[in-house]
Structure 1
Amino acid sequence: MLRIFYGILFLGAGVMHFVNERAFMSIIPKAWPFKRFMVQVSGVIEIVYGTLLLLNRGTRFVKRTGPAFLLAVFPANINMALKPSRIGGKTIPNWVTWLRLPLQWVLIKGIKKI
């Protein structure tokens, strides 16, 4: 069940990187270069993770590399909390962006239990 949850989560997030690319680019710290490339690469990684998990293939790979990936995207989550932006034409409530930070650690811990 946890594997399916993570599969849906990763696949959905990965697809959204391409559906709403500008929104994902907006949460990357301003000083970082190649924002579009980073959004696309992270989207592909999430789509691959989600697909592997939903097909029950490569679970060991996702368990090993997933925590590092989630840690790598954490600076964007911090930036989003510090400088809220509009996503999909809507401003995300500040409390949601701050709540997302500890949730990232829960996801990192949980991925090891898939």
Structure 2
Amino acid sequence: MIRKLYGILFLGAGVMHFVQERAFMSIIPKSWPFKRFMVQASGVIEVVYGALLLTNKGTRFVKRTLPAFLIAVFPANINMALKPSKLGKMPLPKWVTWARLPLQWVLIKGVKKI
């Protein structure tokens, strides 16, 4: 059950990197270069994770690498909490962006149960 939930979550999030590319670029810290590449690369990685989990293939790979990926994208989540953020044209409430931070650690801990 958790494997499928993670699969849906990551597949959906990965697709959204391409559907809402500019929104994802806006949460990357301003000083970082190659924002579009980072958004696209992380989107591909999330799609791959999601597909692997939904097809129940490569779960060992996902378990070993997903925590590092989640830590790698954490600075963008911090940046999103610190500055006003939008999902498309809709502003996100501050509590949502701050609540997302501890959720990242819950996701990392949950990888063991995949």
Which TM-score band applies after superposition, normalised by the shorter structure? over 0.9
The CA deviation at 1:93 is 0.2
1:113 is displaced (CA, Å) by: 1.4
Q: Which amino acid aligns with 1:75?
A: P
Number of the residue aligned with 1:45: 45
Q: TM-score, normalised by structure 2?
A: 0.99
Deviation at 1:108, TM superposition (A): 0.5
Once superposed, which parts of structure 1, at least 4 consecutive aligned residues long, lie more than 3 Å away?
none
Partner of 2:78: 78
Q: Map residues 96-107 of structure 1 onto 2, 5 A cutoff.
A: 96-107=96-107
1:19-98 equivalences under 5 Å are 19-98=19-98
For 1:66 and 1:21, locate their aligned partners in 2 and report how far apart those are by CA, in whole Å.
Answer: 21
Inter-partner Cα distance in structure 1 for 2:47 and 2:108? 17
Following superposition, the deviation at residue 20 of structure 1 comes to 0.4
- C-alpha distance in 2 between matches for 1:107 and 1:84: 24
Structure 1: 5+ residue stretches without partners: none
Q: Which amino acid aligns with 2:23?
A: A
Tell me the distance in 2 between the aligned counterparts of 1:102 and 1:85: 18
Instruction: State the one-letter code of the partner of 2:67.
Output: P
1:112 match: secondary structure = helix
Letter in 2 for 1:99: A
Structure 2: distance between partners of 1:84 and 1:64: 33
The TM-score, its normalising length taken from structure 1, stands at 0.99
Taking only aligned residues, the RMSD between alpha carbons, in angstroms, comes to 0.5
Structure 2: which 5+ runs fail to align? none
Letter paired with 1:64: R
Separation of aligned partners in 2, 1:84 and 1:104: 19
After TM superposition, give the deviation of residue 28 of structure 1 in Å.
Answer: 0.2
Distance 1:78 1:112 in 2: 24
Alpha-carbon distance, 1:21 to partner:
0.1
Give the fraction of aligned pairs with identical amino acids, expressed as a percent: 82
